[in-house]
Structures are given as C-alpha cells and as structure tokens.
Structure 1
Amino acid sequence: METLRIPGTDLTPTRIGLGTWAMGGKQWGGTDDDQAIRTIHAALDKGVTLIDTAPAYGFGHAEEVVGKALADGGRRNDVVLATKVALEWGDGIDGVVRNATARRIEQEVEDSLRRLRTDTLDIYQVHWPDPKTPMEETAGALQRLHQAGKIRAIGVSNFSPEQCRAFREVAPLHTVQPPLNLFEREAERDIIPYAERENLAMLTYGALCRGLLSGKMSRESRFQGDDLRQSDPKFQQPRFDQYLAAVAALDELARERHGKRVLELAVRWLLDSHANGIALWGGRRPDQMDPLDAIDGWKLSRDDLTEIDRILETHITDPVGPEFMAPPSR
C-alpha cells in the first residue's frame, strides 16, 4: 500500500487511513463494538497503518473501541494513531460545542491517552477552530504537549489558511484535515493549495461522502435513529437523485476504463489528485474493508480526471457542501 512521509516527523503512514466516526455510534444509528473491532483488525491485516479517531465520536466511545482493538494482539506499535481535541459535551451543554482552551486540551489529552491505552499520540489535531479562544492559547497548549513528548505531530482540522498561519506563529504544524471527496471539493479553493505550498500533509476526511460514493445506495435507502444523513442535504430530494445519477455515471466510467467500481474510483481520485494527501475511509463492518485490495496498482489518467469533472457538472446541478456538520461555538 502507498505511504506518505509526514514532513517534519518520522511518521510514514499508508495513504489510506481508517476513519472511526461511525464506530462511536452517535449520529450513525448505533454500532456493534465487536464488529467494529473486527473491522479495525481487517483494515490492519490489509496493510492500513493509519487510524483516525476523536473523542467526539460517540463521546469517547470510538477511542475506547480503537484502544481495545489495538490492545488485542499488541498492535499499537503497528499504527500511526491520530485523534483530536477541542470539542466538549455534557453537564448542561446541549450537544457538542467547540472549546479549544488550554484547560480543555490539557484535560482531553489525558482522557484520550487513557481511552486509547497508549502513552503517546502520534498525531493530535484541533478538531474545529474555536473563535472564542485566542489562537495563541490553543497553539501554545499543543506546543507544550509536543515538547513533553505526549504527542508526536500537531494537526488541525477544518481550519482556513488564515487560521493555520495564526497557529504557526506559536507552534509547528504538520498536518491539516479538510473534508474532501468527489462531491465536496470546497477545500481545493483554499486550504489544499495552502497545504501544498507549505509542505503539510493532508488527512482528508469523508472519502466516500458518508457512503454516497460506495455505490450501495438507491432511492429506497433509508436512515434510522440519529443517523446524520437524515439532515445531510445531499440525501434529501431532489438533490439525492442528482447525486445518485452522478454515482451511476462514475461507476460506468470506472468499469469501462479500469474494470473497477465507483468506490475504488472515488478513493483513487483522492490519491491521484493530491500527492500530499491521505484518504480517510470510514467503516464499521469487516466486509467494508474488502475493496482496499482494488485501489493500489492503477492510476487515473488526465483524461479520466477531465471526464469525472464533466460527469459531476452534468448531473449535479444544485451542489451542496459539508457545512451542515460544523458544531456551534459555546
């Protein structure tokens, strides 16, 4: 599997990483822990060496699942382990809100180390910028953790270039994490060019656009309980039909030109479009890791990329981004 050296560090993870948001259960209609652990093991067995998680995924539950999975068989040292900080919940707080104060970061890092059953976090990322906390306070807290050896690399998620520049006045920055997939490309306007210029690695999230690019959905697909796709504009009509039509056309392109399916094309697009990028692929069942074998060993041509853009422009006349996922400030 392809790897990427994260500049300024000795970390060289695979360019496909396992995302664990759905394993937390919240906002995804529940989860099965034993099955989630088998999924993590299946990804590692196929060569994945990066796992990305966060305390906000199930209010700590996803981190606990990851910690247990890596403890089983002593697999912690086989993995570049990335988690996040600076969201809070509970005790009178309605849902999840941003909190990047030094006090919150100092508390969260200890909680994450405990849940993940480790002494060091490989990549520690500010989950969302907090407009109510001075950037120098947030960056200073991460810098101290880095100097203390509790974290090996510093990252930010959902930051703008301006916010990255302010952060880097105080602390080093090794990674950024924007949302990016064939249907959500707003990051290509600002943070992705910035990361390329500044030699920062990108852990792009949402590779399959919450399952939409898996090729497994249809007009009959339904989402239950607290599944966030019930509020995702892409899954509401008439947009849903537009995106499904694009998926069908992309699948036909993948089959006719490469003998692949739309899922493999979607991940391949991420890898071929941005050389400094890592694609985070979410899953919570072992069989969802099976397509990993079909992603290496081929590339999209310039003509393929042009045709992909034409398909998107033809079928998606009312595009919408991932803005609905942003948590509020305190």
Structure 2
Amino acid sequence: METLDLDGNGLTASRIGLGTWAIGGWMWGGTDEAESIRTIQSAPDHGVTLIDTAPVYGFGASEELVGKAVKQGGMRDRVVLATKCALEWDAKERVARNASRKRIVKEAEDSLRRLQTDVIDLLQVHWPDPQVDVRETAEAMAELREAGKIRAIGVSNFSPEQLDAFSEIAPVDVAQNPYNLFERQIDADVLSWIREHDTRLLAYGALCRGLLSGRMHADREFPGDDLRNADPKFEQPRFGQYLAAVDALETFAQEQFGKHVLELAIRWVLDQYPRSVALWGARQPTQLDPVDGVWDWHLDDDARGEIERIVDTHVTDPVGPEFMAPPTRG
C-alpha cells in the first residue's frame, strides 16, 4: 500500500480511500447496515486506512455507520476519518449549500458525535457557497483546527479562484474534486493549482459511479433514487460510448499489464499526480478485493497517453459531473 502525508505534519493515509456515499443509502437505492459495517471494517485488511464520508450522505446515516464500524472494530488508531461540511437539508431531503460559520461549527459538532470521535482528521468544505464570503468559511475552518476539533483542512469542488481566496485565510491541505478517466476537467485548471501549492488531491468518483468497474452492461437498471438515473453518462446513446471505451480499456489493461480496467483506472489517477488519493466506493467487502491489484506497477507517459487516446476515440459526446452540483439556497 502506498501512503501519503495529508497535512505535512504526519497525518498519514493510504493512497486509496474508502468512499462511503453509497453506504449512506441516499441516491444509491438504500443500504444494508450489517454489510456496510463489514465493508468498513474490512478496508484496513487491504491497507485502506482513509475513510471519506459526509453528513449529507444519507443525512447522517453514513457518518453513523462509519462511527459504529470504527468503534466496534477498535479501528480508530488505524484509520484517518475524513468528512465534510457546508451543506444543509430540510425535512423533504432538499439539499442546499450553506458555508456560513454557524453551519460549519454545528456540522463539525454533529459529525464528531456521529463518528464517535474527539477529533476529525480531515474536515472538508463540501461545496463553495456563493452566498457566503469565502473568508468567513475559511476562518471557521481555521478556528476548528485551533480548537483541536480537526487536524487538517480541505475543500471540495473549488475553482482555482476560490482556492486562492480561501488560502489567504487558512491553508488548503487537501482539495477534493471529481477526477477519473472519463472526467478530466481539472486537468485544465484545478490540478495546476494543486501542483503549484503542493496540495493533496482526493479524487472522488475515481471509478465514475461504477462505469470503470468493468461490470456495467447496456441493459443495467438502477433502483429507486440511484443518482445514476439522473446521470447523463448512463443515457443512451452516450452510455454505449462509455461502455465501448471500457471494453477497449479492458483489452489494453490485460494485454499490456495483465490487469483489469478497474485496476487500470485507479492506477491512472494515482500516477497522474504523486500526491493524490483515489476514493473507491464500496458497499460490500468483496468490492475491495481488487485494491490489492493496484500496487507495485505504474503507467508511464506513453501508457497514459494511449489510455486517453482510447477514451477520446470512443467517447465522442463526453459529459462532465456537473449534474451532481447542489443548488444554492433560495
């Protein structure tokens, strides 16, 4: 397992993190508590020590499951707990951005309680809030660190301009953005900022909502409120383009490296930037088994160039992850 110092002060995490949005159930067709707990507790068996969650994932459910799993498993000294703040919701599960100091402080206290811990290792502003001065947001995060409530500060889905403004008040230890073979938008802006400032990257959606798992098929259906029902990547004819790219990537991975497309996709994220962490969503322990095939090999420049050529050849009508952005308050 490859590791990374998240804050420059010894907060060491694995370069693959367990993403727990789906475990929260909301927008993923429900959840199985016992199976979720087993999944979380099995992560360190694969060297996965970073667990990423958020209050909005199941409206507290994901954090509570993480907290229960970590406590029952006696894992607190073996894992890095990362969560988020700055989103609010109402009784009808309508989500909106709120990065005010009051909201951030309240969410941090609620997260500490749900996670059953006295310190959050990494707290991230989930989305920028155009209705709140970014300095107020940054000051609230800095105050939480000074009070010993959090160890490292992160932001998620911020632009370079927003990162500049935030970092004038508080350091950005970690930036979390969508990044995978099909969603490479940050190559044009955010990744340059991250490199220049020696910031760590948490790449969410590293498997692009399962598209890069190699297990999708054209007639796949998603139950209930599964967010993929609203994701334009899963609508035909575009869905067929992405599946064709996955098939070609699978062939390339097997012929060149003896690997599968899932392992290739994660290795690509890690080799794009040496201070990156790829978030791997899983709801069953067996979904973490392929983690073991990511280590001890790398993609050189020629391989990464060929991978991107394959994607661009097959996906002629690409679309980004914009559909996931929550609205501002009304």
Q: What range is the shorter-chain TM-score in?
A: over 0.9
Offset, 1:7: 4.0
1:166 aligns with 2:165: yes
**Offset at residue 9 of structure 1 (A):** 2.6
Query: 2:10 matched to which residue of 1?
Result: 10
1-structure distance, mates of 2:141, 2:298:
37
**Corresponding position of 1:29:** 29
Deviation at 1:83, TM superposition (A): 0.2
Could you list the per-position Cα deviations for residues 7-63 of structure 1 after superposition, in whole angstroms to 9, with x for gaps in the alignment?
433211110000000000000001101101111112111111100000010001000
Corresponding residue for residue 70 of structure 2? 70
- Once residues 247 and 214 of structure 1 are traced to their aligned partners in structure 2, the CA distance between those partners, rounded to angstroms, is 9
Distance 2:73 2:177 in 1: 32
Measured in 1, the distance between the counterparts of 2:290 and 2:135 equals 42
The residue correspondences of 1:1-330 to structure 2 (distance < 5 A) are 1-91=1-91, 95-330=94-329
Separation in structure 2 between the aligned mates of residue 144 and residue 8 of structure 1, nearest angstrom: 19
- Say which is worse superposed, 53-62 or 304-313, in terms of deviation: 304-313
Q: CA deviation at 1:301?
A: 2.3
| 8 Å Cα contact 1:9/1:153 also seen in 2 | no
The superposition leaves residues 88-122 of structure 1 with CA deviations (integer Å, 9 ceiling, x where unpaired) of 0015x761100001111111111000000000000
CA contact (8 A) 2:7 2:152 kept: no
C-alpha offsets along residues 115-148 of structure 1, whole Å, 9 cap, x if unaligned? 0000000000000000001111111111100100
1:270 and 1:33 mapped to 2: Cα distance? 30
Go from structure 1 to structure 2 and tell me whether the alpha carbon gap of 1:185 and 1:71 turns closer, same or farther (over 3 Å shift).
Answer: same
- SS of 1:224's partner is coil
Offset of 1:173 from its aligned partner?
Answer: 1.6
CA contact (8 A) 1:207 1:280 kept: yes
Pairwise CA distance, 1:310? 1.2
Contact 1:129 1:159 in 2 (8 A): yes
Q: What code does the residue aligned with 2:285 have?
A: P
Q: Partners of 1:228 and 1:17 in 2: how far apart?
A: 21
Mapped contact 1:85–1:124 kept (Cα < 8 A): yes
Partner Cα separation in structure 2 for residue 289 and residue 172 of structure 1: 32
- Alpha carbons 1:7, 1:199 under 8 Å: kept: no
> Hey, what's the Cα distance between the residues in 2 that align with 1:185 and 1:22?
22
Q: Report deviation, 1:171.
A: 1.3
Partner SS for 1:4: strand
Amino acid in structure 2 at the alignment position of 1:252: T
Q: TM-score, normalised by structure 1?
A: 0.98
Q: How many equivalent pairs are there?
A: 329
TM-superposed deviation, 1:220? 1.4
1:274-295 residue CA offsets vs partner (Å, 9 max, x unmatched): 1111000001011100101111
Identity of aligned residues (%): 60
Whole-angstrom distance in 1 between the partners of 2:181 and 2:297 = 18
- Where structure 1 has 5 or more consecutive residues not aligned to the other structure, the ranges are none
CA distance in 2, matches of 1:49, 1:313: 34
Say if 1:197 and 1:309 are closer, same or farther in 2 by CA, change over 3 A: same
Tell me, yes or no, if the aligned pair for 2:41 and 2:73 is still in contact at 8 Å: no
Cα distance in 1 for partners of 2:68, 2:140 equals 28
Spell out, residue by residue over 1:276-322, the C-alpha distance to the aligned partner (whole angstroms, 9 max, x if none).
Answer: 11000001011100101111011112221121111011100000000
Give TM-score, length-normalised by structure 2. Answer: 0.98
Whole-angstrom CA distance in 1 between matches of 2:326 and 2:73 = 36
Whole-Å separation in 2 of the counterparts to 1:84 and 1:183: 25
Counterparts of 1:158 and 1:21, CA distance in 2: 16
CA distance in 1, matches of 2:220, 2:42: 26
How far apart, CA to CA, are the structure 2 residues paired with 1:298 and 1:239? 32
What one-letter code is carried by the residue in structure 1 that aligns with 2:77? N
Distance 2:233 2:179 in 1: 15
* Range moving further from structure 2, 206-215 or 73-82: 73-82
CA shift for structure 1 position 73: 2.5
